[in-house]
Amino acid sequence: MQILTPHVYWAQRHGEIYLRVDLSDAKNLDISLQENNTLQFRAQGHGAKGDNEYEFSLEFLEPVRPEINHKSTQRQVVIKIKKQEERWWDRLTLQGKKPLFLAPDFDRWLDESDAEMELQAKEEKINKISVESRVRKDPYLGLKKGYLFMYNLVQFLGFSWIFVNMTVRLFILGQDSFYDTFHTTADMMYFCQMMAVLEVINPLLGLVKTGFFPAMIQVAGRNVILFVIFGSLEEMQNKPVVFFVFYLWSTIEIFRYPFYMLACISTEWKLLTWLRYSLWIPLYPLGVVAEAVAVIQSLPIFDETRLFSFPLPALLGHSFSFSYTLQLYLVLMFLGLFVNFRHLYKQRTRRYRSRKRKVQ
């Protein structure tokens, strides 16, 4: 039987050499490392010249470790050898001229710089695992995630009920639904906004990483509109602005809460992530504008009813109208819009940068 040389493909990393022998259905494998740092390969199988016995030898450029890992499949034989020292070789063999049967394995091939980046990524991953193993695990982590999951689920269901109720009534009654929005959805909105106070408490307890002040600005602002403007003034409860405020709030929240809910179980839906970080860009400013309209419409009512007015000494006048406080609140409202918009935009930017790094 004629002895032939198979096609051999090679690639390297700083610490390893990969050889792929183009020999299918290999039998009687004999792979060894000789004392002169030469790899000796002999096997019977189907190669470029059909079923024959194939063999080759390679004297490596630098010393390698004696352990040889190999795996034979129906299509090829894969050999992995560790270098004695982790360094990049200029070539595979000691002899300057490359053997005719040897060629680069482009499926594994990396330049030195690419291999260094791969090695660095592996080291960073190992270091991260090492650090995580040293960090003390929170024994209450499961309980915290369970609480946050249930909170976000309840809020999602509440705002979904408001959104669906208002949408159905809009399609059935048209513009007439604008005037009784408060009476049909106020109880659920009261419940959701009182629950939202927990979003101010959660950062203080370290349950979430979001900031305390952005959460406080949003929750306090909404509760002023809901409880002070709409809840205390019957004249405001039949105005169309209630519809637009409630509809914009619920539209934002039916995407925000399920996003956080899924984050509690380390799950992500790309479409939901995009909606959560994109819809607020037009909806959040529109919501603030609708709230500002509600405040402006309430000013003459507070002046007329003197509700929440502060009594003053006789020399200064009868009372200080609550409408002056609301005018100051209008200024603070748009300042809060700037603060929250900036905070949310930074969140969006960090999120997409993080996803881009993972893809790379």
pLDDT for residue 350: 67
Least confident span in 37-41, 55-59, 126-130, 254-258: 126-130
Structure-model confidence comparison of residues 96 and 183, the more confident one: 183
Report whether 43 contacts 23 (CB < 8 A): yes
pLDDT for residue 360: 45
Strand pairing category for 310-311 and 319-320: antiparallel
Residue 116 confidence class, pLDDT cut points 50, 70, 90: low
Structure-model confidence comparison of residues 5 and 3, the more confident one: 5
> What DSSP designation does 60 have?
B
DSSP 90-123: S-SBSSSSPPTTEEE-TTT---HHHHHHHHHHHH
Of the candidates 335, 226, 338, 245, which has an alpha carbon nearest to the alpha carbon of residue 289? Answer: 245
Residue 13 confidence class, pLDDT cut points 50, 70, 90: confident
Of the candidates 270, 182, 275, which has an alpha carbon nearest to the alpha carbon of residue 233? Answer: 182
Residue 252 confidence class, pLDDT cut points 50, 70, 90: very high
pLDDT > 80? residue 33: yes
CA distances from 316 to 275, 305, 311, 320 (A): 53, 20, 10, 9
Residue 182 confidence class, pLDDT cut points 50, 70, 90: very high
| 291 part of the active site | yes
**pLDDT more than 90, % of the chain:** 43
pLDDT > 80? residue 346: no
Question: Would the CA dihedral through 334, 338, 344, 348 be positive or negative?
Answer: positive
The residue to which tokens 């030898």 are assigned = 57
Instruction: Tell me the pLDDT of the chain averaged across its residues.
Output: 86
Residue 147 confidence class, pLDDT cut points 50, 70, 90: very high
pLDDT > 70? residue 318: no
pLDDT for residue 115: 62
pLDDT > 60? residue 100: yes
Q: What is the mean pLDDT of residues 9-25?
A: 90
Residue 351 confidence class, pLDDT cut points 50, 70, 90: low
Catalytic residue among 151, 260, 291, 329: 291
pLDDT > 70? residue 284: yes
Count CB neighbours of 45 within 10 A.
23
| 179 part of the active site | no
pLDDT tens string 188-244: 999 999 999 999 999 998 888 877 887 888 899 899 999 999 999 999 999 999 999
Catalytic residue among 284, 304, 324, 345: 284
pLDDT > 60? residue 157: yes
pLDDT for residue 140: 81
pLDDT for residue 359: 43
